Structure 1
Amino acid sequence: MSSELHRTLAENGSLMPRADNILRGLQPEWLHHEAHESKHPLTIYQISLDRIAAAWLKVFPLFSRMELEIALGRDPSQGAELLGAYEGLLQRLNEHADACEEILRCLHAPIEGKIHRMHWQFLDAINPPGWRELKDGIIKRYRDPCLGLLVNELKHASGHLTLCNAKTTDGPICGFFLNGAYPGGALGPSRKLHKSVDSMRTAFSFRRDMMMNFWLVYQMGESLAKCIESTIKHKHGDVVKEVAPVKPSLDWSNVCMEAAALKGPYFPDEEAKEKPVIVVPPDGSSIKIKLRAGSVLRKIRPMDIKIFMTIREGTPGYVLPYYPVRKNADPRAQGRVLLPKKA
């Protein structure tokens, strides 16, 4: 994992991850994508980033509008639209890891007599240089426990997101949580994803979640670039030269500008977590990204929290994030709102 990543228009031709330039420098004789019935590796990468950019550019204006509404004390007018757009973005981000794995597969000939349905299975079998660092250091460490789990629950476990916003003295916090099942049929923040802090369930702020996912795209790109360089050196004894694009991607530059503007408060438990620092100057000529350690709040800021949820007919109660713990209460009922029974 790289501690700090830096890209400039002057030196690199775009602000996209380094893998974009590396893939442009691949020679035809190094590739086996046709044998795998795959697209050219550069095409795979660019399609994935184009989809991510398109999804993100739908999210940013909806997020900005909600932040303004929360700051003004209003209920969100497009909450469902934001959650729907964000689910789409999460899906594209999760698929990006699959695209990186497919690209690495295209650098190697198929194994005769073997069928590997998943790209990672093929890569595990041949174990190319740098694969373990990408798989264990980036995908398993950062993608799988949060983004991967979140998307899988949304796709395969009837998961759904609920808005959790807060008005604070430091500014608005727009957030969400993934719903999961609790004993007795209640719904609340998924115990698989959202950790408990001081006996309270927690949520994610859109701000930190987007920054972490943005950082993750660049870390995967850097790790992919290193894997490609090591593979070509090992197999062909050659060096891959970076080739800059003819012109930068305007959509990706806009994503970078928006990501760098994600400044403001987080939920209290998120203050102790790692957070990316994203710096883009006003002219959009460069980008710097690094991950900094979390900090401990000396004083918990007061939060006026609003949770926007749909009451489900088969659900007798709800567990809410950041809900005050009642003393001497049944631990199974902590943070739970029980609905009145029908007469």
Structure 2
Amino acid sequence: MAWQAVMPALAVLSAELRFDGLTPDVGSVETKYGNLLHALYEHIDACYAVMRCVAPAPAKPAQWHQMAVRAQKVPGAKAFEDQVIAYKNLSLGPTVNLLKHGESRLRVLAFRSRFAFTLGYFIDGPQRGGIIGPAPTVHHDGNSAFSFNRDILIHWWWLYRMSELLADVVERNIGSKMLPVSDGNGSGVVPSEAAQEWVKLCRAIAAIPPDFMPDESEKPYPLVVVPPTGASIRLEYPAPRRPNKFDPEAKIGYSGPT
């Protein structure tokens, strides 16, 4: 699973970059995080595939799930699309498109100071003058980058928000409430190894500190709360508190291989 591959890899890389003398395994994070971004984009298409199945086929066959759902006029699908389209087309889509078709690379960088450490990345691309730097189609300027902390929180929030919107579409069209799997004895969701792994992942993401890149320091971010029992998860976007102030003494401590 892409999520479960990314979190341990980031933890290892953070530890390696915090201490001198270690050789960081940057390539592992670049590959695994790129795989996660691809999986998130494919998840959106999978949501359209589900919506396509809950309504009669359109009169004219459509190759793409999104076009078929629009032609079918699936109840609730417009609300899904209205909310998800900006995330898909303006945020996630351009990044995945460059990685998949533009021969761009995801490049890790880190800011370090005596009191702070922020790990992040940028998608490389040609800039004016022929130099390689943050791709203009993804980043707002040549000094821009994404922190893994904020990026993961944003994608995690959208994962749950899309699931909520998709569940509403399915319920409206099949006429029944979607409920968690029960053991038949009224004791709730059947515990499983997969569920426990998901709870561990939820806790790891809830523990992410709001330490972001300089140009993200004024941007909103999601709050993720998981109680000790792991029986629920609460997501709030925007979070009711500001990100931690970026340390002005922080310098780029790692900018990836050339």
Report the TM-score when normalising by structure 1.
0.67
Residue 187 in structure 1 maps to residue 156 in structure 2:
no
Q: Secondary structure at the match of 1:224?
A: helix
Q: Which runs of 5+ in 2 are unaligned?
A: 182-188
Q: Which structure would you say has the larger RCO, counting Cα contacts within 8 Å and 6 or more residues apart?
A: 1
- Give the C-alpha shift of residue 76 in structure 1: 5.4
Q: Secondary structure at the match of 2:222?
A: strand
Partner residue in 1 for 2:228: 282
Partner residue in 1 for 2:191: 247
Change in Cα spacing, 1:206 to 1:298, as seen in structure 2 (3 Å) is closer
- Give the C-alpha shift of residue 75 in structure 1: 5.8
- Give the C-alpha shift of residue 70 in structure 1: 3.1
- Give the C-alpha shift of residue 275 in structure 1: 0.4
Identical aligned residues as a percent:
29
Matches of 2:35 and 2:219 in 1, distance apart? 25
- Give the C-alpha shift of residue 251 in structure 1: 2.5
- Give the C-alpha shift of residue 264 in structure 1: 4.5
- Give the C-alpha shift of residue 210 in structure 1: 0.8
Q: In structure 2, what residue type is equivalent to 1:60?
A: M
1:88-122 alpha-carbon deviations (Å, 9 max, x no partner): 1111111110111100101112224x221110001
Residue 220 in structure 1 maps to residue 166 in structure 2:
no
Partner residue in 1 for 2:184: none
Partner residue in 1 for 2:10: 63
Residue 78 in structure 1 maps to residue 25 in structure 2:
yes
**Structure ID, larger Rg:** 1
Q: Secondary structure at the match of 1:286?
A: coil
1:106 to 53, 66, 77: 53
- Give the C-alpha shift of residue 170 in structure 1: 4.3
The RMSD of aligned alpha carbons is 2.2
Matches of 1:73 and 1:310 in 2, distance apart? 16
Partner residue in 2 for 1:268: 214
Q: Which runs of 5+ in 1 are unaligned?
A: 1-53, 233-237, 312-343
Matches of 2:70 and 2:253 in 1, distance apart? 46
Matches of 1:102 and 1:211 in 2, distance apart? 25
Matches of 1:108 and 1:155 in 2, distance apart? 32
Change in Cα spacing, 1:296 to 1:274, as seen in structure 2 (3 Å) is closer
Q: 1:154–1:160: 8 Å Cα contact kept in structure 2?
A: yes
Q: Secondary structure at the match of 2:15?
A: helix
Q: In structure 2, what residue type is equivalent to 1:262?
A: I
Q: 1:179–1:187: 8 Å Cα contact kept in structure 2?
A: yes
Residue 209 in structure 1 maps to residue 151 in structure 2:
yes
Q: 1:171–1:264: 8 Å Cα contact kept in structure 2?
A: no
